[in-house]
Structures are given as structure tokens and as C-alpha cells.
Amino acid sequence: MSLREQLNADKKEAMKAREAGKLRLSVIRMVWANISNLEIEKKRELTEEEIAGVIAKEVKMRKDSIEEFKKGNRADLVEQAEQEVAVLMPYLPQQMSEEEVRQVVADTIAEVGAASAKEMGKVMSALMPKVKGRADGKLVNTIVRELLQK
């Protein structure tokens, strides 16, 4: 089942659940709105990869918000954002563990032949297509910096 079909089916299911599905329904509708806006902008239907990118962007926004809410001691907003992330995570591909990311980064550094932090851009451009959607960009960036400074 494609992401588009899965989102549609889950939206219908949440609508039928009434009160129990309110949060889920609002999150799915928000994602649908972003997908629709992007399709209007691009004047075509989005691919599976692009839809996954929209969902990943939504998850990243919420995770960033969680950090800010924690700094502001807003436990209520942290909880809501965490629940929204929990609704979105099943739509994303299985996330890579830190060890898997480290291995891919090390392999890519060897493949590109980078020896210093100055070549980080070259490493990142070769690496990101391999981990796109499956690993947090911030984590990837941190690991690349760490391994290039050794």
C-alpha cells in the first residue's frame, strides 16, 4: 500500500473513531494539506519519496519544537508534540541506528577519500542520498564532523 493510500485509509479510520481519533485526524489532515500545497506548487502529483520527505519534515519540525518547549518549561506542549510525532513515525521508513549511521559515514568517507573537515561538503553530498529519510540529518552531520576530525 502506498503512503498516499495509507494516509487516506488512516484518515477515514480516524474520522470514524470520532473523539478517540481527534489528534490523529488533525495531524493527518495537516500532512495532507502540506502534500496538497506542494502538489499545487509543483503542478503534479508527488512521488512516494516526496511524500515521505513531507512527513519527515513535519516530524523534524515537531522534534525541534519539543526541544524549545522543554527549554520554556511547557510540559503540556511537549506532550502534545510527542504525541504528534508518534502519529507520524509509522509513515516513515525504518530509522537507522547510530551504529548503522556511523558505518555508512565511515564507508562514505573512505569512498570519497576525505581526510579533513574541509572536505565535509564532499562527504555530505555523497552521503545524504544514502541515508535520506532514514536518519536524522543533525545526527549524520555530527558523526561526519567527529570522524573527519580524527
| Predicted model pTM | 0.78
Q: Domain range for residue 54?
A: 3-91
Q: Are residues 40 and 81 in the same domain?
A: yes
Listing DSSP states for 32-98 in one string gives: HHHHHHHHHHHTSPPPHHHHHHHHHHHHHHHHHHHHHHHHTT-HHHHHHHHHHHHHHGGGSPPPPPH
pLDDT score recorded for residue 96: 87
85 and 112 share one domain: no
Ramachandran sector of residue 81 (left: φ over 0; alpha: ψ -120 to 50; beta: rest): alpha
Predicted pLDDT of residue 135: 84
Joined grid coordinates for residue 28: 493527518
Q: What is the pLDDT of residue 66?
A: 95
Report whether 27 contacts 84 (CB < 8 A). yes
Residue 59 sits in the same domain as residue 110: no
What is the CATH number for 121?
A: 1.10.10.410
Say how far apart CA 29 and CA 137 lie, in whole Å: 26
Based on the fold, state whether residues 85 and 18 are members of the same structural domain.
Answer: yes
With helix as H, strand as E and coil as C, how does 115-134 read? Answer: CCHHHHHHHHHHHHHHHCCC
* Residues 62 and 135 reside in one and the same domain: no
Picking from 62, 91, 120, the residue at the C-terminal end of a domain is 91
**Residues 84, 109 within the same domain:** no
**pLDDT for residue 29:** 94
* Torsion of Cα atoms, 129 then 131 then 132 then 135, to 10°: -160
CATH of the domain at 80: 1.10.1510.10
Q: How many domains does the chain have?
A: 2
Residues 14 and 79 in one domain: yes
Of 43, 58, 91, which one is at a domain's C-terminal end? 91
**Per-residue pLDDT tens digits of the chain, which is 150 residues long:** 889 999 999 999 989 888 777 899 999 999 999 999 999 999 999 999 899 889 989 999 999 999 999 999 999 999 999 999 999 999 988 888 889 999 999 999 888 888 888 888 888 999 888 888 788 888 888 998 988 887
Are 66 and 86 a contacting pair, CB within 8 Å? no
Same domain assignment for residues 84 and 139: no
Same structural domain, 79 and 131: no
